[in-house]
């Protein structure tokens, strides 16, 4: 009898279900970690480290620069090997250039002023390419003992 009483006194409870984790939780964790990474990586460089100081050209550097040299001033005026040309004459001036080593495409070296707008430079380079010249930008080092990267 005692066995019956103990078995009858037991109340069967339904098994507890474990709460299921949200399937989006790992994705949220990864996005959060990426957000933290990019926030930290963005602050590792000090302000000013990525700034570029464009070159300044003095009159004495002119003899050592490659030829044919297209110099562009701050206001977009052009001079090809020291001779001032209009922007409309650029294609004609490029047509008169000879290619090095008997090749088909002449190389035009471009020296832009430090205050020239980037959009003007891109337009002029596009016009030179359309006229059939390969362009190469000339970059000068000030020579102050500090090499540019």
| 3 pLDDT more than 70 | no
Read off the pLDDT band of 127 (50, 70, 90): very high
How far lies 8's CA from each of 2, 13, 26, 110, 143, in Å?
Answer: 10, 13, 46, 99, 99
**Tens-place pLDDT, residues 83-101:** 899 999 999 998 888 887 7
Decide if domain 59-137 falls under CATH 3.30.420.
Answer: yes
Full-model pTM: 0.56
- 3-class secondary-structure state, position 109: strand
Average pLDDT, the chain: 79
| 31 pLDDT more than 80 | yes
| 136 pLDDT more than 90 | no
Read off the pLDDT band of 149 (50, 70, 90): very low
What gap in Å lies between CA 77 and CA 91, rounded to an integer? 15
pLDDT average, residue stretch 7-23: 76
> CA nearest 79: which of 124, 122, 118?
124
């Amino acid at each position: 009898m005692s066995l019956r009483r103990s078995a009858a006194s037991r109340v069967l409870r339904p098994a507890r279900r474990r709460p299921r984790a949200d399937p989006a939780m790992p994705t949220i964790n990864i996005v959060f970690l990426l957000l933290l990474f990019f926030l930290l990586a963005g602050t590792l460089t000090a302000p000013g480290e990525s700034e570029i100081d464009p070159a300044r050209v003095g009159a004495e550097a002119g003899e050592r620069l490659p030829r044919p040299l297209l110099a562009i001033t701050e206001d977009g005026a052009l001079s090809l090997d020291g001779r001032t040309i209009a922007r409309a004459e650029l294609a004609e001036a490029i047509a008169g250039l000879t290619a090095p080593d008997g090749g088909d495409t002449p190389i035009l070296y471009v020296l832009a002023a430090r205050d020239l707008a980037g959009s003007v430079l891109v337009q002029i380079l596009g016009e030179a390419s359309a006229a059939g010249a390969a362009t190469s930008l000339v970059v000068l080092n000030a020579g102050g003992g500090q090499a540019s990267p």
